[in-house]
Chain A
C-alpha cells in the first residue's frame, strides 16, 4: 500500500511536469514509456511482462481505478458458496514490486496526437505506446426498462466485486419458493459460458437452501456455450428448477421494471425476487473515447493486438474485435503476452516472436463436476484464427469431472500469479 502511494505520488509529480512542458518531456525522456489502462487479465499481464522482461529499459505505468481487483472468473463460484469473496480479490503490490508505476485513477481521455492520457484527477500521462484493456461496458437501452442506475435493484454482476456481493445477498434473501430471473446477453459478450455457470451455481445454492425456488432465464440466443454439458448437469442435479426461454418463445423480446420487480417476456409479465440483468456489451468506454472503436468494439491486428486505427495504441481482451477468440480472462492474458513481446521489440529492439494464442474456459456445474472448452489460435492477416480445439463430453466419469474442477483451481492460481506477480 505504501509502495503504491509512493509510486502514485512519484508519477503525479512527473505528470504535472508533463503538463507544464509536454513537448520537452515527451521528446527528451530517456526511456520509452508504455501506459496501460485497465488492470485486469489483459492489462495487468501486459504491464507485468513488459516491466519484467525489459528489466528497467521501459517505463511502465498502469492506470486502474480499483485498489482491490476482483476477478470475474470464479465469481460465480462465490455465488455458489465454493469461494469466499476474498479468494477472488487481488491487490497491485506485486506489480509495483516488479517496477510498474501503479496509478489508481480513472483514465478519462486519450489524445492520440500529443500521445497523452488524461486522468479524472486532472493529470496527464505521456506515452510512446498505449495499451487499452478496459474490459466491457453495457450498450445503452439494450434491455428495455434497465439502465445503469437500476443496477442496485437488478444487478448485472458481470464486473466482479460489489455487484457480485449484491447479487449474492439478494439470492440469500429470496423468499421460500421465490423466483431468480436472469436476462442473458446476446453475442458477443464477456465469458460465453458465464451466465450458464452462474445459473448452475445459483441452482446449487438454492437446492441446499431454498429447494422450491425457481430459476427463469430469458435468452435472446438460440444456443449457448457448452449447452449440452450444462443441460445434462441441470437435468442431473437441478431437475425441474430451471426454465430457459429461448428466442423461439420470446426470450429476445424482454423488458424489466426495476421498481415493480417484474420481468416481461414476450408480453407476459412475471413477478420476480431477484433479476440478474446482463445487457448487451461493448468495449470499455475509454476505447471509444480514444477513437479506436468501430461500432461496439475495437478492431485490432492479430499479429500484435495494435488497433486498426493507430499503430501506437493496442487493445486487449474483451474490448478487442480480433476474430475467433472468446472474450475471456484466459484470452486477454494470452493476447497480453503477444502484445508485450511486440511492444518491447518495437521500443527496445528485443526479439519478436510469432504470435500464438490459446484459451480454455472451465465451468463448474455442481460440486466436483467441472467441464472445459478450449482452443488454440494463430494470427492471420485478417484475424486471430482458430487452429484446434476440444470440449468436455457428456457422460464423462465423475473422476474426470473432479479432476477438471481441480485443474480449474490450479489454473486460477496460475493465471492470477501470472497477472499480478507475487504480492509483497
Chain B
C-alpha cells in the first residue's frame, strides 16, 4: 500500500511538470493493467529480477541493460543498436512485443488498447522518477503471491533428471525459447519456475493442460525441471 501511494505521488508530480495531461495515462489504472505483467516483472523497493527483468529505473535504460538478467539475443541486439526505454519506445513495444523485437522471450501478446498502454507506462514511470527511493535489492525473486513451503522451494533439483522430464515439456514449449502461442519457459530463475509449477499443481494458476501436467510432478521433479531449464545456454 505504501508502495502504491508513493508511486502515485511521484507520478503525479511528473504529470504536472513534464508531460501533457492528454498524452499521459492514469497510474492508478495502470497498476490494475500491471496485473498482466507482475507474474514476471517486479517493481518497488524489494524488486529483483524474476522471469523477466525488474522494472525499477526503466526509463532511460538501454534495452537489455540490466546486469545479471539473461536477455534474449534479440533484445541484446536492440540494446547495442541504441534502443532505450522511454514512453514512445515502450508504447510501441507493448503494443506488439514480438512485432517490435521478434526474438523476445516475453510471452505476452501485447496491449492493443492504447489507453491501457499509457496507463501502465504512467504506472511504471513512478518507479523511475527517483531511483534513490527504490534501492536495488538483491534478486530474491520472491515473485508471485504464493504460500508455498520454503522447504519445498529450497529443494535442490537433479538437472539430469530434469533434462529427461523436460522432454515432456518440449512437445509444446520450444527448447530454443521461441514462443508462438505457447509461452517460453527457458532461462527462468529456478525459484520462479518452481513457484509457477507449484501454482498450477495447487490450481492457483488455471490452465487445464498445465494443471494436469503439474499434478503428477512431485516436489523433487519440479525442482529437477527448474534446475534443468534454468541451466540452459542462451
Interface set of A (CB-CB < 8 Å, partner B): 49, 330, 333-334, 337, 341, 351, 353, 356, 358, 360, 372, 374-376, 378, 387-390, 406-411, 413-415, 417-418, 422
Interface set of B (CB-CB < 8 Å, partner A): 160-161, 164-165, 167-168, 170-176, 178-182, 208-209, 211-213, 215-216
Tell me if B171 and A334 are in contact (CB < 8 A). Answer: yes
Tell me if A410 and B182 are in contact (CB < 8 A). Answer: yes
Tell me if B175 and A353 are in contact (CB < 8 A). Answer: no
Residues of A within 8 A of B168 (CB): 334, 337, 356, 358
Tell me if A333 and B216 are in contact (CB < 8 A). Answer: no
Tell me if B212 and A389 are in contact (CB < 8 A). Answer: yes
With both beta carbons as reference points, the residue of chain A lying nearest to B161 in the complex is identified as A353
With both beta carbons as reference points, the residue of chain A lying nearest to B166 in the complex is identified as A337
Tell me if A415 and B172 are in contact (CB < 8 A). Answer: yes
B123–chain A nearest beta-carbon distance, Å = 24
Residues of B within 8 A of A387 (CB): 216
Tell me if B212 and A414 are in contact (CB < 8 A). Answer: no
Q: A360-B209, A376-B216, A388-B215 are in contact. Are A415 and B165 (CB under 8 A)?
A: no
Tell me if B181 and A408 are in contact (CB < 8 A). Answer: yes
Residues of A within 8 A of B174 (CB): 413-414, 417
B77–chain A nearest beta-carbon distance, Å = 19
Residues of A within 8 A of B182 (CB): 407, 410-411, 414
Cα–Cα, bound, A37→B92 (Å): 49
Tell me if B171 and A414 are in contact (CB < 8 A). Answer: yes
Tell me if A411 and B164 are in contact (CB < 8 A). Answer: no
From A372, A376, A414, B213 is in contact (CB under 8 Å) with: A376
Q: A414-B173, A418-B170 are in contact. Are A353 and B178 (CB under 8 A)?
A: no
Cα–Cα, bound, A405→B124 (Å): 32
From A333, A378, A406, A408, B171 is in contact (CB under 8 Å) with: A333
Cα–Cα, bound, A375→B215 (Å): 12
A407–chain B nearest beta-carbon distance, Å = 5
Residues of B within 8 A of A409 (CB): 180-181
Tell me if A418 and B180 are in contact (CB < 8 A). Answer: no
Q: A387-B216, A411-B182, A414-B182 are in contact. Are A49 and B208 (CB under 8 A)?
A: no
Tell me if A358 and B171 are in contact (CB < 8 A). Answer: yes
Cα–Cα, bound, A413→B160 (Å): 25
Tell me if B181 and A406 are in contact (CB < 8 A). Answer: yes
B42–chain A nearest beta-carbon distance, Å = 26
Residues of B within 8 A of A330 (CB): 171
Cα–Cα, bound, A374→B211 (Å): 11
Residues of A within 8 A of B170 (CB): 414, 417-418
Residues of B within 8 A of A388 (CB): 212, 215-216
Q: List 25 A-B contacts (CB under 8 A).
A: A330-B171, A334-B168, A334-B171, A337-B164, A353-B161, A358-B171, A358-B212, A374-B209, A376-B212, A387-B216, A390-B208, A390-B209, A390-B212, A407-B172, A407-B182, A410-B179, A410-B181, A410-B182, A411-B171, A411-B182, A413-B174, A413-B180, A414-B173, A417-B178, A418-B167
